[in-house]
Amino acid sequence: MNIIQFFKNRKKVLGLNARRFARPPAKKAALRIADNKLLAKKVLQKARLPILETLQILKDRQEVQDFNYRDLPHSFVLKPNAGLGGEGIVVVFGRKKNQPDAWVRGDRSLVRTADLQNHCRNIVDGNFSRLGTPDIAFFEERSKINKTLKPYCWRGIPDIRIIVYNLVPIMAMLRLPTKYSGGRANLHIGGIGVGVDLGTGVTTTANWRGQIIEKLPDSRLLLSGIQIPYFQELLHISAQVQAVTGIGYLGVDLALDRDKGPVILEINARPGLSIQLANLTGLAERLERVRGLKINTAARGIRVGQDLFGGEVEEELEEISGRKVLGINEPIKIFSPGKDKSIETMAKIDTGAYRTTICFSLVEKLGLDKIVHHKKVRGVLGEEERPIAQASFVLDRRLVATEVFLADRREMKYDVIVGRRDLKRFLVDPAKNVFMRHKKDD
């Protein structure tokens, strides 16, 4: 480890001291939305953003006393309106069989109507509110778990936290509830934070209780490489939330409901800093890169965020394997034997072919006509003898010197096919598709 680099990096990481300054001065009204869940839901619903349904609101002790708790459905969530950091939230998963006044929580403990009433009374008294002031208790539908993420969760509901700044999503994290967190996804009580690549919505690195982990605890499931469903939509919603609420630096918590798709769980004006541990990347650096950019629409913000901060999966893979990742088509630069001339074009990366093939049209231009030998090949059109010449080219900034087939490819889309003989120093990702910039020149 480079100790100088370690201390140089301190400016890239966002600490508690700097977080206060991360948020541009927002209007008081905007911040009130973040501290008031019901108000937030109202504002979001008005903007037609997806939220969970509120089942019942209890405003004071009288209402807490009078409410018939038996009317509640089999599963629900009880929340304090002004609660902070997931405190005071009760989640029940189902009713106890044959008992209309008992529900089961994530850790299998029972909650009875008397417990609910008592908890509501505590909420209304303000024991979970930020300043200890009287609060409102409300019941909400419980979001149902999405199938893709279910194997990774212990009972609770996973959520996706996206940090948005200046309409640009700058970092995302998947939070998984574990046995150790009692089925809750909050990191400080034992949930797992999994970093998410903004470009693709695929998970990267994971952190649990301050330690880097690769696999789900007590299992062999890899935590990297999970594709988060509806990721683009999640990004879109989170940027919209910022546009609607006017909070300049914001954490949006979203769930993927089995039936409804993405829903907003909560919005947070002071999102935690652990997202940096999950992604192994600093927020301060990303904030710096987005600060001052003029962004007018959420769609533009998402594009900027994905362009600036996406693609870490690939870089990381390249770092681990020491090999470059190629797509199915890549720009290539082919040299003449004397290296005095070169031609740039697009090549098709074809792991089905052994040897690289270059079209006669290029051979003429470059003077690659010194044939080394011939080889018989069997193709769809039967047996054919092809000439082989020496050639060198640059693919993704790497020089490859090799022997190539010469063939007539004038009718084909690509002048060059790169075969596996020359792909040993690369990895191929079929999902990576480089946009054709150079038209094939005839």
Partner 1 sequence: MFNLSQYFLSLGLPQTTLLYLLGLPVAATLIAFARQIIGIKGFGIYTSLLITLSFLVVGLKYGLVTFLVLIAAGTITRVALKKLRLSYLPRMAIVLTVVAMVLLLAFFAATVFDQTNFLQISVLAVLIMITLVEKFIAAQIDKGGKTAILLTLETIILAIAAYFLISWPAFQSLIFRFPLLTVLISLLLNILLGKWTGLRLFEYWRFRDVLKKMS
Q: Which residue, 280 or 317, has its beta carbon nearer to partner 1?
A: 280
Task: Using the minimum distance from each CB to partner 1, give the nearer residue, 132 or 367.
Answer: 132
Task: Check: CB of residue 216 under 8 Å from CB of residue 189.
Answer: no
CB of 22 to partner 1, least distance (A): 9
Of 256, 200, 195, 199, give the one whose Cα is nearest residue 223: 195
- The tokens describing 402, both together, are 């090799």
Question: Which of 10, 150 has the CB closer to partner 1?
Answer: 10
Site string for partner 1, 293-332 (x = CB under 8 A): ----------------------------------------
Nearest distance from C-beta of residue 25 to partner 1, angstroms: 16
Our CA angle for 68, 72, 78, nearest 5°, is 100
In degrees, rounded to 5, the angle at the alpha carbon of residue 151 between the alpha carbons of residues 232 and 211 is 85
Q: Nearer Cβ to partner 1, position 118 or 342?
A: 118
359, containing H or E segment:
strand 357-359
Q: Which is nearer to partner 1, 25 or 210 (CB)?
A: 210
Tokens of 410: 């004038």
User: Across the chain, which distance is largest between two alpha carbons, in Å?
Assistant: 95
* Stated length of the chain: 442
Residue 19 or 300 with smaller CB distance to partner 1: 19
Closest CA to 226 of 189, 276, 291, 174: 174
Q: How far lies 400's CA from each of 45, 83, 420, in Å?
A: 57, 61, 12
Strand segments, DSSP code E, in 47-153 are 54-58, 76-80, 90-95, 102-105, 110-112, 137-141
Return all residues near 187 (Cβ < 8 A) that are at least 6 apart.
Answer: 175, 193, 207, 272, 274, 278
> Looking up tokens 């797509």, which residue turns up?
327
- Which helix (DSSP H) or strand (DSSP E) does residue 8 occupy? helix 3-8
Q: x-or-dash pattern for partner 1, window 65-94, by CB under 8 A?
A: ----------------------x-------
Residue 364 token pair? 């003429």
* Contact call for residue 21 and partner 1 (CB under 8 A): yes
**Minimum distance from CB of 240 to partner 1 (Å)?**
29
Q: 249 has which bridge partners?
A: 165
Nearest to partner 1 of 86, 387 (CB atom)? 86
Cβ 135 vs Cβ 124: under 8 Å:
yes
Which of positions 180-239 make contact with partner 1 (CB under 8 A)?
Answer: 189, 207, 210, 212
Q: Is 13 in the site for partner 1 (CB under 8 A)?
A: yes
Phi-psi bin for 178: left (phi > 0), alpha (psi -120 to 50), beta? beta
**Residue 16 touching partner 1 (CB under 8 A):** yes
Least distance to partner 1, CB of residue 208, Å: 12
CA distance 173 to 167: 17
Q: How far is the CB of 239 from partner 1 (least distance, A)?
A: 25
Place of tokens 């991360």: 22
Binding to partner 1, residues 96-135 (CB under 8 A): 114-115, 118, 121-122, 125, 127-128
- Nearest residue (CB) to partner 1, 27 versus 215: 215
Judged by CB under 8 A, does residue 17 bind partner 1?
yes
Q: Residue 317 or 377: which CB sits closer to partner 1? A: 317
CB of 330 to partner 1, least distance (A): 25
13 or 377: whose CB is closer to partner 1?
A: 13
- Single out the segment in contact with partner 1 by CB under 8 A; choices: 4-12, 333-341, 363-371, 407-415: 4-12
Q: How far is the CB of 15 from partner 1 (least distance, A)?
A: 4
Site residues for partner 1, 270-299, by CB under 8 A, read: 273, 276-277, 280-282, 285
Residues that bind partner 1 (CB under 8 A): 1, 5-7, 9-10, 12-13, 15-18, 21, 87, 114-115, 118, 121-122, 125, 127-128, 189, 207, 210, 212, 273, 276-277, 280-282, 285
